[in-house]
């Protein structure tokens, strides 16, 4: 290629990336720097006249709370169980919907609408549905004879985590289904034709043709979902507010608590940074573990 | 033998789809029938699975008193504009990051990815000050800007993935025919990319449609409020006004259901086109 | 290019939608943008509320309209964020010194606003205000709650009382409980899980803290120091005594024997819902509950009574308040005060208190029949019996108060679920307040 041509390409690359880079660095990374600073200060809404540096005190205070172990365990449960079910159901749904059937558009609308509700709204809807006194889920189970006594889905620590995770699965399947369906549509039919000629069964087609082809999408959607579920306090906040007795707190609801009840932005930012560190470690591990699959999609 | 398997497979598929449908639709069903109950019957025990008297008073209430038409309009406007801007910005960035390898490309992807890990509120007060200095507070432009910012990383990542799956021979052929790169992108690549673009658009729209926190913080004015904020006002100290809330929930779901139905056509068309030369 | 034209449909739809909608949405923002920059003759005030509800917002708007009619050179723009997140929005705006003149100040936020120098000292205005001395003692005390300086003018007062199902009590031949022990016995007698009926609307979720602490004060009786009510006159905390243990044990039993299992996580809405839906027989709440209760329960099926007293015959009550204040950086403090003065006049306050369901701030209002008879009557009775009903200064001005609310709520839930012993909970709370005392306010 001639140098002139190369220059034009460079200009094209530069101009195409410019808006995205400006937006992200100007309005995400720049404000964050300040937020990170707050984590090392005594920064509480109750007294903003004295916001001196306190070193790692906020981190010590947050990690030193006796609940911290439960919170970490809940966070892990919340992310892993939600993710596994969201992915499995979403992928199954995408496969079933790939071939198309009459009314698929409408069907999609009705199974994907959950994605269009805010997490907080879903939280309060499910709080009502799961209510231990007047909730419709208890009523249905009683009428069906499955239970004889109402279950305190949100007031019994044994059930509370289960209930919020069910709501989260309900909410999040749509994302995987939409993204994987779009990816499935792009698998060239020649690949299936070739596999048909080779006499491959449905299952071996799935594992030898389909999944390898859409692997980049799977890998990046899974990584994103892990991060998003991790950073999704809205639903739990709306449903149980972290209760009963803190049994449904995850790191990010704990962070919200610090802001709403204590006004302690210093400690809240410290929790935020702990979240980022955990997620970065996850990402490094994830990229390392999936390198063999030639993902490299980040 | 084979035929029987096929029928069993189809039946199994129908059962799975139907079960999932029930699981998903039940909460919506509950919202719909709640919205059709007269206010004093909503909490009546035993629970009514079908309203004894169908009433539209909840809908009348939210349009007449709560002025829902304004909030619906605001939300549609903001969500569509921000989603459209996001598409323009990220089709370019996603394409470039998929097609060219240059210094800093993978670092940039990583930087985009990391934005997803950052809890919104860290640095929020700085962001609020920035909006204030730019004179954007209490203007819908603030939401359009911040929704775009929030979506750029994810949509870039997603669209880059879709672009990578399309052979570059496609636009190279068009460029040999005399197209510029931009017009090759527009006329050859994008039509083939419709499934991915539709999915990304739906995603972007829906994220904007239900965003609550920034909408509360940035907008003061009654006439500029968005739907989620207006809906949140039904939560009062005493209780949640489920009559209004359920009617509003049902209304807020309708545009998305329509959007899915429309985009379905693009996804199917993309399917036939996506099969072009491998 | 048939496909290409179809694809064009998508942006087209967007553009069309934008075109048709922008007309109405931009006009609204335009007006707001001109906000503070109008000609000097016309003053624009920005006012924000916190405890928002649609009905209340309507009333405030009407009051503002009459204010504007009386003061044609002042225009007031009301900001009504949803209840959830309103205080967050207010502090963000104040911290950024965003244009704001009048704001809702609550007993739980006033300390924070004063410390951060966000709100103005109103004493120069109250000194010149003839209506100030007409305020009742509680209203004046709450206005001067921090540093003995009027930082806000209350629009109403809160105080708890007992709501009970008169029909259920009559059917069992019971009379409304006068003491906590009677309340427990009645609750137990009225509980019938098979019929989904329970004695008491327990508050286990968000906001449970006030109930627990008030109860423990009642059990400590006259030993409590009303000026620093987390502590006894001896200086020890109210959690350190055998009486505290007795009280907390009673309270845990009230949950186990007389309340729905689910109520361990009940917050305000569920608590009231439980009562009005006919699940629970007793509810302890503020006067703003009168309206929702009377709307849902038939007349004669319910009534109100004074708060139950502790074993030594003493009940401690806290007067809560919320009201209006002026930002310290307001460009139009005089006009802002004018608005507050207007809202605090007996006529306007009467309109507001009836909708918001709060106790009026004027002495003259106690003559008003609707506040001396019917559901409000226990307040008068309690006020006229200072030997048994002792008011105390709220502890909301301690630094760790916000954190404390969360801690005591979670620990109590743990106690009710048998994850934590009563002794350990009290020990923990005792240590917390010894430390708070050390840290100061």
Q: Give the pLDDT confidence of C317-353 residue by residue, as tens digits.
A: 888 999 999 999 999 999 999 999 999 999 899 889 8
Q: What is the pLDDT of residues A92-128, one digit of tens each?
A: 999 998 877 788 878 888 888 888 788 889 999 999 9
Q: Which residues contact A1 (CB under 8 A, 6 or more apart)?
A: none
Q: Does B92 touch chain A (CB under 8 A)?
A: yes
Of B254 and C179, more confident: C179
Looking at residue C25, its pLDDT comes to: 37
Q: Does B29 touch chain A (CB under 8 A)?
A: no
For chain B, the chains sharing at least 3 beta-carbon pairs closer than 8 angstroms are A, C
Which CATH number fits the domain that encloses residue A120?
1.10.3720.10
Q: Give the residue from C4, C5, C11, C433 showing the smallest Cα distance to C224.
A: C433
Other beta carbons within 10 Å of B19: 10
Mean pLDDT of the region C238-251: 96
Nearest Cα residue in chain C from B198:
C10
Evaluate whether A180 touches A90 at the Cβ level (below 8 Å).
Answer: yes
Mean pLDDT of the region C127-135: 90
Query: Domain locations in chain C?
Result: 39-158+320-362, 161-318+380-439
Q: Which residues contact B147 (CB under 8 A, 6 or more apart)?
A: B78, B79, B82, B86, B207, B208, B211, B214
Nearest Cα residue in chain C from B236:
C53
Q: Looking at the domain that runs over C39-158+320-362, which CATH code has it been given?
A: 3.40.190.10
Interchain proximity C262–A133, CB inside 8 Å: yes
Looking at residue A289, its pLDDT comes to: 86
pLDDT at A293 over 60: no
Q: Give the residue from C206, C185, C195, C355 showing the smallest Cα distance to C282.
A: C185
The rounded radius of gyration (Å) of the Cα atoms in chain A is: 24
**Adjacent-strand bridge partners of A53:** A41
Across the interface, of C264, C277, C399, the residue whose CB is closest to A244 is C264
pLDDT at A258 over 80: yes
- How far is the alpha carbon of B106 from chain C, nearest alpha carbon, in Å? 31
Query: Domain locations in chain B?
Result: 1-55, 63-274
- Contact list, A255 vs chain B (CB under 8 Å): 119, 121
Give the whole-number percent of chain C exceeding pLDDT 90.
58
Assign B2 a pLDDT band (cuts: 50, 70, 90).
Answer: low
Q: Give the residue from A254, B41, B214, B55 showing the smallest Cα distance to C81.
A: B214
Evaluate whether A170 touches A114 at the Cβ level (below 8 Å).
Answer: yes
Interface of A with B in 140-169 (CB under 8 A): none
Domain coverage including residue A77 = 65-261
Other beta carbons within 10 Å of A53: 10
**Domain for residue A7, yes or no?**
no
Mean pLDDT of the region B121-134: 90
Q: How far apart are CA A280 and CA A286, in angstroms?
A: 10
Q: What is the pLDDT of residues A24-70, one digit of tens each?
A: 999 999 998 888 999 999 988 888 888 899 999 999 999 998 889 99
Range C161-318+380-439 classified under CATH 3.50.50.60: no
pLDDT at B78 over 60: yes
Assign domain B63-274 one CATH number from 2.115.10.20, 3.40.47.10, 1.10.3720.10, 1.10.10.410: 1.10.3720.10
Nearest Cα residue in chain B from C28:
B223
Looking at residue B270, its pLDDT comes to: 47
Across the interface, of A131, A155, A261, the residue whose CB is closest to C264 is A155
**Domain for residue A45, yes or no?**
no
- Contact list, C116 vs chain A (CB under 8 Å): 45, 47-49
Burial class (CB in 10 A: 0-12, 13-18, 19+), C75: middle
Give the whole-number percent of chain B exceeding pLDDT 90.
41
- Contact list, C32 vs chain B (CB under 8 Å): 138-139, 220-221, 224
Evaluate whether C39-158+320-362 and C161-318+380-439 have a shared fold.
yes
Mean pLDDT of the region C146-159: 93
- How far is the alpha carbon of C200 from chain A, nearest alpha carbon, in Å? 14
Burial class (CB in 10 A: 0-12, 13-18, 19+), C354: middle
Across the interface, of A134, A152, A241, the residue whose CB is closest to C277 is A134
Q: How far apart are CA A75 and CA B55, in angstroms?
A: 43
**Adjacent-strand bridge partners of C76:** C45
Across the interface, of A45, A243, A257, the residue whose CB is closest to C91 is A45
pLDDT at B52 over 90: no
Evaluate whether B86 touches B148 at the Cβ level (below 8 Å).
Answer: yes
Tell me: cis bond preceding C390? Omega within 30 of 0 counts. Answer: no
Nearest Cα residue in chain A from B208:
A116
Q: Does A170 touch chain B (CB under 8 A)?
A: yes
- Which three-class secondary structure state does DSSP give residue C427? helix
- How far is the alpha carbon of C411 from chain A, nearest alpha carbon, in Å? 6
Evaluate whether A116 touches A172 at the Cβ level (below 8 Å).
Answer: no
Q: What is the pLDDT of residues B233-262, one digit of tens each?
A: 888 877 788 889 999 999 988 888 888 777
Q: How far apart are CA C211 and CA C183, in angstroms?
A: 14
Q: What is the pLDDT of residues C253-303, one digit of tens each?
A: 999 999 998 899 888 888 988 898 888 999 999 988 888 888 888 888 999
The counts of H helices and E strands in chain C are: 18, 11
Looking at residue C120, its pLDDT comes to: 96
Whole-angstrom CA distances from C314 to B206, C224, C390 are 57, 10, 7
Interchain proximity B77–C1, CB inside 8 Å: no
This model of the complex carries an ipTM of 0.86
């Amino acid at each position: 290629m001639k140098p002139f041509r190369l220059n034009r390409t460079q200009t094209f690359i530069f101009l195409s990336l410019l808006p995205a880079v400006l937006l992200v660095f100007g309005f995400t990374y720049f404000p964050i720097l300040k937020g990170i600073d707050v984590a090392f200060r005594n920064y509480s809404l109750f007294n903003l006249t004295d916001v001196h540096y306190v070193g790692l005190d906020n981190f010590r205070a947050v990690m030193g709370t006796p609940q911290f172990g439960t919170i970490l365990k809940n966070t892990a449960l919340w992310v892993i169980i939600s993710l596994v079910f969201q992915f499995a159901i979403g992928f199954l749904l995408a496969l079933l919907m790939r071939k198309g059937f009459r009314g698929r558009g409408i069907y999609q609308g009705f199974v994907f609408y959950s994605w269009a509700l805010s997490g907080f709204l879903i939280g309060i809807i499910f709080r009502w549905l799961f209510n231990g006194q007047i909730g419709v889920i208890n009523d249905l189970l009683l009428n069906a004879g499955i239970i004889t006594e109402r279950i305190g889905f949100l007031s019994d620590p044994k059930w509370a985590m289960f209930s919020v995770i069910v709501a989260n699965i309900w909410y999040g399947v749509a994302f995987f289904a939409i993204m994987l369906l779009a990816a499935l549509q792009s698998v060239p039919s020649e690949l299936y034709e070739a596999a048909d000629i080779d006499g491959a069964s449905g299952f071996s087609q799935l594992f030898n043709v389909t999944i390898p082809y859409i692997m980049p999408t799977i890998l990046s959607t899974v990584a994103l979902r892990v991060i998003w579920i991790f950073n999704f306090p809205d639903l739990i906040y709306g449903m149980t507010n972290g209760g009963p007795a803190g049994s449904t707190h995850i790191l990010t609801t704990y962070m919200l608590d610090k802001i709403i009840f204590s006004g302690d932005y210093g400690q809240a930012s410290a929790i935020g940074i702990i979240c980022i560190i955990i997620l970065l470690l996850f990402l490094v591990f994830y990229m390392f573990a999936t390198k063999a699959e030639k993902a490299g999609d980040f | 033998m084979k035929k029987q398997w096929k029928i069993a497979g189809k039946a199994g598929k129908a059962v799975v789809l139907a079960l999932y449908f029930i699981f998903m639709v039940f909460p919506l069903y509950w919202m719909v029938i709640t919205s059709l109950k007269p206010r004093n019957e909503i909490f009546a025990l035993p629970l009514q699975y079908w309203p004894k008297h169908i009433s539209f008073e909840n809908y009348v209430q939210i349009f007449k008193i709560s002025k829902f038409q304004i909030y619906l309009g605001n939300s549609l406007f903001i969500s569509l504009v921000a989603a459209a801007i996001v598409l323009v910005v990220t089709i370019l960035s996603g394409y470039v990051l998929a097609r060219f390898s240059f210094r800093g490309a993978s670092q940039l992807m990583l930087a985009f990815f990391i934005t997803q890990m950052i809890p919104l509120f860290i640095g929020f007060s700085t962001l609020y000050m920035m909006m204030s200095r730019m004179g954007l507070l209490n203007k819908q432009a603030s939401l359009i800007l911040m929704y775009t910012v929030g979506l750029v990383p994810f949509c870039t990542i997603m669209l880059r993935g879709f672009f990578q799956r399309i052979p570059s021979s496609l636009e190279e052929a068009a460029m040999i025919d005399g197209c510029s790169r931009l017009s090759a992108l527009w006329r050859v690549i994008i039509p083939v990319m419709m499934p991915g673009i539709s999915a990304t658009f739906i995603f972007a729209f829906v994220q904007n449609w239900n965003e609550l926190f920034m909408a509360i913080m940035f907008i003061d004015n009654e006439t500029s409020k968005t739907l989620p904020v207006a809906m949140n006002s039904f939560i009062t100290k005493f209780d949640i006004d489920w009559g209004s809330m359920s009617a509003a929930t049902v209304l807020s779901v309708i545009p998305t259901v329509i959007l899915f139905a429309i985009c379905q056509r693009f996804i199917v068309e993309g399917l036939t086109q996506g099969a072009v030369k491998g | 290019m048939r496909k290409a034209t179809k694809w064009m449909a998508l942006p087209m739809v967007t553009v069309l939608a934008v075109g048709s909608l922008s007309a109405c949405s931009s006009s609204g923002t335009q007006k707001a943008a001109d906000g503070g920059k109008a000609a000097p003759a016309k003053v624009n005030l920005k006012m924000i509320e916190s405890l928002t509800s649609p009905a209340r917002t309507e009333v405030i708007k009407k009051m503002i309209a009459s204010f504007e009619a009386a003061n044609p050179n002042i225009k007031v723009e009301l900001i009504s964020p949803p209840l959830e997140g309103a205080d967050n929005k207010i502090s963000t705006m104040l911290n950024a010194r965003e244009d704001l003149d009048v704001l809702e100040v609550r007993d739980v936020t006033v300390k924070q606003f004063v410390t951060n120098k966000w709100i103005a000292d109103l004493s120069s205005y109250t000194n010149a205000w003839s209506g100030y001395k007409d305020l009742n003692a509680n209203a004046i005390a709450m206005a001067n709650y921090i540093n003995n300086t009027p930082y806000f003018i209350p629009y109403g007062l809160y105080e708890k009382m007992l709501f009970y199902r008169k029909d259920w009590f009559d059917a069992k031949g019971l009379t409304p409980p006068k003491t906590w022990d009677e309340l427990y016995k009645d609750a137990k007698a009225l509980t019938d899980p098979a019929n989904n009926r329970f004695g008491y609307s327990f508050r286990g979720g968000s906001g449970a803290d006030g109930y627990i602490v008030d109860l423990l004060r009642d059990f400590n009786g006259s030993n409590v120091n009303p000026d620093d009510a987390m502590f006894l006159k001896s200086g020890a905390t109210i959690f350190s005594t055998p009486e505290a243990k007795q009280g907390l044990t009673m309270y845990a039993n009230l949950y186990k024997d007389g309340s729905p299992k689910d109520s361990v996580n009940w917050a305000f809405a569920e608590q009231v819902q439980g009562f009005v839906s006919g699940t629970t027989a007793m509810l302890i709440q503020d006067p703003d509950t009168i309206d929702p209760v009377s709307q849902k329960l038939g007349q004669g099926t319910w009534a109100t009574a004074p708060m139950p007293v502790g074993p030594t015959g003493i009940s401690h009550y806290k007067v809560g308040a919320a009201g209006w204040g002026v930002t310290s950086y307001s460009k139009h403090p005089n006009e802002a005060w004018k608005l507050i003065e207007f809202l605090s006049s007996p006529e306007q306050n009467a309109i507001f208190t009836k909708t918001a369901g709060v106790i009026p701030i004027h002495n003259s209002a106690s003559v008003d029949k609707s506040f001396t008879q019917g559901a409000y009557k226990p307040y008068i009775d309690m006020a006229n019996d200072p030997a048994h009903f002792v008011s105390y200064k709220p502890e909301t001005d301690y630094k760790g108060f916000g954190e404390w609310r969360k801690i005591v709520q979670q620990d109590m839930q743990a106690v009710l679920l048998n994850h934590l012993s009563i002794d350990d909970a009290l020990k923990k709370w005792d240590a917390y307040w010894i430390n708070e005392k050390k840290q100061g306010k």
